[in-house]
Amino acid sequence: MFDSKNLKKITMTFSLISSKLIRVVFLWSLVLGTIASSCSKSDSPPAVVADKTTLNAKIALSQTAHDETVEGSKPGQYETGSKAALTAALTAAKAVSSDPAATQAQVNNAAANLQPALDAYLTHLIKEIAAENRIGFW
């Protein structure tokens, strides 16, 4: 029935067929895997990173004004309690600046809200009255 020559031919043929079948299955799995991954529903547009350059510059300027000035009642100082509004605006601006998900509109609004707070704070500087402008001497 089966002599060793025929058995050897059958074995070689089977080996050749099975190696080709393994290659075909492997290639199909690559093709199907590529198709499946390209049809993913998680495809979303890339996140837009807001430009925080202006906001960060205003934060730095406001922080310097906050840190390098003193509240009090003497000339060269700022009216007591005048830092509160600047501190609140500065805290809000820093929160937006440190938020990686902040939109450009939020960044722009934070910068727009910080500038008036700084401007208002700077108006509270107590100035010395020149001697010729004094109306009373005591």
pTM for this structure? 0.62
Which residue reads 């934060």 in tokens? 59
Going by pLDDT thresholds of 50, 70 and 90, the confidence category of residue 29 is: confident
Going by pLDDT thresholds of 50, 70 and 90, the confidence category of residue 3 is: low
Mean pLDDT across the chain: 82
Higher pLDDT, 3 or 50: 50
Long-range contacts of 79-83 (CB under 8 A, 24+ apart): 79/124, 79/126, 82/121, 82/124, 83/121
